[in-house]
Amino acid sequence: MTQTLKMSVAAFALMASGAWAAQDSIIIGMQLEPPNLDPTGGAAAAIDEVTYANLFEGLTRFASDGAVVPGLAQSWSVSEDGLTWTFDLRPGVVFHDGTAMDSADVVFSLNRARAEDSTNAQKALFAGIADVSAPDTTTVVITLDAPNGNFAFNMAWGDAVIVAPESVATNATQPVGTGPFRFVEWAKGDSVTLERFDGYWGAAPALTRATFKFISDPNAAFAAMMAGDVNAFPVFPAPETLANFDADPRFSVIVGSTEGETILAMNNANLTDVRVRKAISHAIDRQAIIDGAMFGYGTPIGTHFAPHNPDYVDLTGGSAHDPDMARALLAEAGATDLRLRMALPPPSYARRGGEIIASQLRAVGIATDITNMEWAQWLEQVFRGKDFDLTIVSHTEPADINIYARPNYYFQYDNAGFQALMETLGITADADARTALLQEAQKMIAADYVNGYLFQLAKTGVADSRVEGLWQNAPTQANDLTGVSWRAGP
Partner 1 sequence: MIRALGRRALSLLLALIAASVVIFVMLQAVPGDPAAFMLGMNASEDAVAALRAELGLEGPLVVRYLAWISGMLGGDFGTSYTYRVPVAELVSERIVVSAPLAVMALVLSTVIAIPVGLIAAARRGGAADWGIMGGTQLGIAVPNFWFAMILVLVFAVKLRWVSAGGFPGWDAGLWPGVRALVLPAIALALPQASILARVLRSALLDTLDQDYIRTARAKGLSRRATVVRHALRNAMIPVLTILGLQFSFLLAGAIIIENVFFLPGLGRLIFQGITQRDLIVVQSVTMVLVFAVILVTFLVDLAYTVADPRLRRR
Residues forming beta bridges with residue 391, ordered by sequence position? 265, 343
Residue 13 or 416: which CB sits closer to partner 1?
13
Residue type, 72: L
Is the distance from CB of 293 to CB of 299 less than 8 angstroms? no
3-state secondary structure of 315: coil
Give the separation between CA 460 and CA 235, rounded to whole angstroms: 6
Among 83, 141, 226, 436, binds partner 1 (CB under 8 A): 226
Q: Which of residues 97-126 bind partner 1 (CB under 8 A)?
A: 116-124
Examine residue 184 and tell whether it contacts partner 1 (CB under 8 A): no
CB of 327 to partner 1, least distance (A): 34
Q: Which residue lies nearer to partner 1 by CB, 222 or 449?
A: 222
Closest CA to 185 of 210, 202, 159, 207: 210
How far is residue 281's CA from residue 450's CA, in Å, rounded to a whole number? 9
Nearer to partner 1, 42 or 180 (CB): 42
CB atoms closer than 10 angstroms to residue 435: 13
18 binds partner 1 (CB under 8 A): yes
Cβ 364 vs Cβ 283: under 8 Å = yes
How many CA within 13 A on the CB side of residue 293? 27
322 is a site residue for partner 1 (CB under 8 A): no
Asked if residue 216 binds partner 1 (CB under 8 A), the reply is yes
Distance (Å, whole) CA 146 – CA 116 = 20
Distance of alpha carbon 442 from alpha carbon 47, whole angstroms: 31
Of 2, 4, 5, 13, which one interacts with partner 1 (CB under 8 A)?
13
Q: Which amino acid is present at 212?
A: F
Q: Of 90-98, 218-226, 429-437, 472-480, which part binds partner 1 (CB under 8 A)?
A: 218-226
Dist CA 192 CA 183 (whole Å): 8
249 binds partner 1 per the rule CB under 8 A: no
Q: What does DSSP assign to residue 240? A: G
C-beta closer to partner 1: residue 187 or 420: 187
* Segment lying near partner 1 (by CB under 8 A), choices 99-107, 197-205, 380-388, 463-471: 380-388
Q: Please state the closest distance from residue 365 (CB atom) to partner 1, in A.
A: 32
Scan residues 382-411 and list those touching partner 1 (CB under 8 A).
383-384, 397
Nearer to partner 1, 8 or 216 (CB): 216
Q: Which residues bind partner 1 (CB under 8 A)?
A: 13, 16-19, 33, 35-36, 42-44, 116-124, 172-173, 187-191, 213-217, 219-220, 223-224, 226-229, 374-377, 379-381, 383-384, 397
